[in-house]
Amino acid sequence: MASKKRLPQEVSIFLVLIGIAAFFEILGWFIVGQSFLTNVSRLQIIILQVSVIGIIAVGVTQVIITGGIDLSSGSVVAMCAMVAATFAQSSNWPKIVHPSLVDMPFIVPLMIGLLVGALAGFINGWLITKTKIPPFIATLGMMVTARGIARWYTDGSPVSGFTESFAMLGNGLDRWMPVVVFLLVAAIFHVVMRYTRFGKFTYAIGANPQAARVSGINIDTHLIKVYMIAGLLTGLAAMVAIARIKTAQAGMGLMYELDAIAAAVIGGVSLSGGRGRITGTVIGALILGVMLSGFTFLRVDAYYQDIIKGCIIVAAVVVDQYRQGKRSKKT
Domains recognised in the chain with CATH numbers: 41-323 (1.10.3470)
Residue 2 banded pLDDT, cuts 50, 70, 90:
very low
β-bridge pairing 159-160 and 247-248: antiparallel
Q: CA geometry: angle at 235 spanning 314 and 65, to 5°?
A: 40
Least confidently predicted of 32-41, 56-65, 143-152, 160-169: 32-41
Instruction: State the pLDDT at residue 96.
Output: 63
Cα–Cα distance for residue pair 210/224, rounded to 1 Å:
17
pLDDT in tens, 159-209: 988 999 999 988 887 788 999 999 999 999 999 999 999 999 999 999 999
Q: Is the separation of the CB atoms in 287 and 20 below 8 Å?
A: yes
Longest CA span, the chain: 76
Q: Is the separation of the CB atoms in 235 and 115 below 8 Å?
A: yes
- Name the most confidently modeled range: 39-43, 89-93, 287-291: 287-291
Q: Is the separation of the CB atoms in 25 and 295 below 8 Å?
A: no
Helix/strand/coil for 281: helix
- Terminal-to-terminal C-alpha distance of the chain: 18
Predicted TM-score (pTM) of the model is 0.92
Residue 35 banded pLDDT, cuts 50, 70, 90:
confident
Write out the DSSP string of 38-61: S-HHHHHHHHHHHHHHHHHHHHHH
